[in-house]
Amino acid sequence: MAEIREGDTAPEFTVPLANGEVESFTLSERLDEAPLVLAFFPGAFTGTCRREMRTFRDRMDEFAAADGTVYGVSVDSPFALNEFREKHDLGFGLLSDFGKDVVDDYGVRGDLARYGVYGVAQRAVFVVDDEGTVVYRWIAEEPGTEPDYDEVLDAVESAG
């Protein structure tokens, strides 16, 4: 598994985008929306993930004011992610890494062994600038930990 650090080139990927429809998302084709916030989460419809995605939703005006674009990333199917988006009124796209390539490339594949769930995304946030460089990286060390949203916003503002 790779370990992506600040200053590294963000690994390229193409995955389904759940945005009410199902479309294709390729990172390099979205750099004009940068800074991009890639918020990895273990699974739709779970407590901490729901809280995290709702917090991003509730702070979208702040991220938009900093010219940032937020995307949630999980290994859930794009169809489940569309249901999750709709149920929680998420105004941003969710990326389906159903094949688990992105979690491997970003070094954030994890397990929730106490629940018997393996091969999910660790909770993590990467901010990618318009040149495709990772300018911020955070990976949860404990289950249930959420990112420092102010820190993520500061990274977006600095990269913008």
Sheet (strand 94-96) strand order: 22-26, 14-18, 94-96, 69-74, 36-40, 124-128, 134-139
Give counts: helices (H), strands (E), the chain. Answer: 5, 9
Domain annotation for the chain: domains and CATH numbers = 14-159 (3.40.30.10)
Active-site positions read 49
d(CA 104, CA 141): 17
Q: Could you list the pLDDT tens digit for every one of the 160 residues in the chain? A: 678 999 999 999 999 999 999 999 999 999 999 999 999 999 887 768 878 899 999 999 999 999 999 999 999 999 999 999 999 999 999 999 999 999 999 999 988 777 777 888 999 999 999 999 999 999 998 878 899 999 999 999 999 7
